[in-house]
Structure 1
């Protein structure tokens, strides 16, 4: 191996740290729940609960505030979607 290679950043493979990584959720993940099918929603909730149980989940205050602000619009959009389907 060339001597200069030791100075290059050599990240560990994902497989080495994925089971211990801290997961930070974005607002879009929470808002997307209003668009998922029930099965997808259940699977995501299960994963999030497992991460929380293992102290590997972080939901920043900014994300909670954005979710609270945008949640009513998401609900209204789903209601409008249902009304459109019913009317057609």
Structure 2
């Protein structure tokens, strides 16, 4: 039995599974289902050479109307808190 849960453990409890992690960042996916459709919620913490590292939350299968990029998916306060903690852990939190 673990005494303390890691950020990854807590994210897994709420459905986010880590799909990739390397020196440039980390990616998580969660499958969400509503009454009308099912979608993937992807969250990426990414390194940028400018030092302004980013957190992206989106549905990879859903493009916007102008075909510019994927549609944003919002995060709850708890989810955001966990992802920010992960950004700090891997050294990609920038002010």
TM-score (structure 1 length as normaliser) = 0.28
Give the number of the structure whose residues are more often helix, by fraction.
Answer: 1
Give the number of the structure whose residues are more often strand, by fraction.
Answer: 2
Bigger-Rg structure (1/2)? 1
Using CA pairs below 8 Å that are at least 6 residues apart, which structure has the higher relative contact order? 1
TM-score (structure 2 length as normaliser) = 0.27
